[in-house]
Amino acid sequence: MKYRNEADSMGTVRVPQGAYYGSQTQRAKENFPISGLQFSLPFIHTLAQIKFHAAQVNLELMLLDPNIANAVIRASHEIREGKFDDQFVVDVFQTGSGTSTHMNLNEVVAGRANEILTGKRGGRSPVHPNDHVNLGQSSNDIFPSAIHVCGAVLIRTGLIPSLKELHASLTRKATEFASVQKIGRTHLQDALPISLGQEFSGYARQVELAIRRIKQSLESLFELPLGGTAVGNGVNTHPEFAGQVIAGIADETGLPFVEAKNHFEAQGAQDASVETSGALKSAAVGFIKIANDIRWLASGPRCGLGEITIPPLQPGSSMMPGKVNPVICEAVIQASMQIMGNDATIAIAGQGGHFELNTCLPVIAYNLLQSITLLTGTARAFSQKCIDGIAANRKACLSGIDKSLALATLLVPHIGYDRSAALAKKAYESGKTIREIAVDEKILPKALLNRLFSWDLPD
């Protein structure tokens, strides 16, 4: 690897030849080789989006030379297009304000802008990463603003549509299975009959409510800390800067971003991210319930419940021929567990707001955006690869109804709880059904019993 020397006030560091970034990025890269994890490209592109609009506003406010501003605007746009994705090299685990990644971005923008103006890549002149690219900004307001913008965009454009797709799939199955009678279960024990459609309608409602909770959390993300600079009081920024930059972002994304009502809250705490993560966790918990139920309902195919069949996607065993596993359900469960773990991390990181700054911003950003992406992909795979292909096994569903001892409940209004319980015990000990015992002992007129136990049983 060839290097060029770049000196600054902290000494000389070695920067790879041909890199757009400079000494601050290189130093962060060398000092934080902790995990090998890096921020997702949507987050990097969001940082560049903010720089794009910031340079435009600084140009309009006549705070930047037009040549410098236009070079910064062009460089930021190119980063958003993905032309310099390989230049973002800093580990997720770094300084708690995200300054290392923020300066990586500032230096790449400056380095490319200098190339545009002079033909020479990198450096700090004529475009300086701090004086020009970062004009009117601080890591402390830019980084949490990028979390909010990126998170809100990913939720609105990816997550909500995928959840709606899953909701539609479950709703279709609820309608399709409306006439399929089966036994209900509580405590994993036989209970009263329901329809398979009713069961699926419950799953659809879970997803519908998850969508509502996540949409509600967006309201908090729409407030951006931009304009607070280092400690929330807006030092070194033009009073019109934040409002105009945020208006540009709102116009581009179609989302109602506004300046934070209180910058000290917006930078000293990260409650909006904690709230959003909680809504994602709630959805993940629901996904686990739904996926586990479907796994149980499809168990078998001959020695389990077998009330539904799910699409066979791949061989289920390297040893047992013909075995097919509920692979999508299990993938959904594992992804949901990861989201729940991310939420725990975000909740702990949310406590990292000491005085005027939360110093756990990178781990909040990484985990929150990963959760949004995971939930998006999980919902889509669940609907397309599993739910849409589910079929009901009507015979298996009906066969369990008449055998259920819980049918004694239907007799309670006529003979009371105690007599019904005794009847259920007798049925269990004799191996007969509730209907058979009731008929044998002439508990009620046969016509009434037929109406009470009017299930369409298989031949």
Alpha carbon distance 124, 103 (integer Å)? 12
Tokens representing 74 are: 């062009």
Q: Residues 156-167, buried b or exposed e (16+ Cβ, 10 A)?
A: bebbbebbebbb
Q: Is 128 a catalytic residue?
A: no
Residues 6+ apart with CB under 8 A from 77: 48, 52
Alpha carbon distance 120, 127 (integer Å)? 12
Alpha carbon distance 296, 234 (integer Å)? 57
Q: Tell me, what DSSP letter sits at residue 315?
A: B
Strand intervals (E) in 10-63: 11-16
Contacts for 250-255: CB closer than 8 Å, 24+ residues apart: 252/49, 252/53, 253/149, 253/152, 253/153, 255/152, 255/153, 255/156, 255/222
Handedness of CA 423, 427, 428, 434 (dihedral sign): negative
Residues 6+ apart with CB under 8 A from 322: none
Alpha carbon distance 190, 362 (integer Å)? 49
In the set 9, 187, 318, 454, the catalytic residue is 187
Lookup result for tokens 């797709």: 165
In the set 35, 125, 317, 430, the catalytic residue is 317
Q: Is 309 helix (H, G, I), strand (E, B) or coil?
A: strand
Tokens representing 389 are: 């292909």
Q: Is 187 a catalytic residue?
A: yes
Alpha carbon distance 424, 405 (integer Å)? 6
Question: Which residues are marked as active site?
Answer: 187, 317
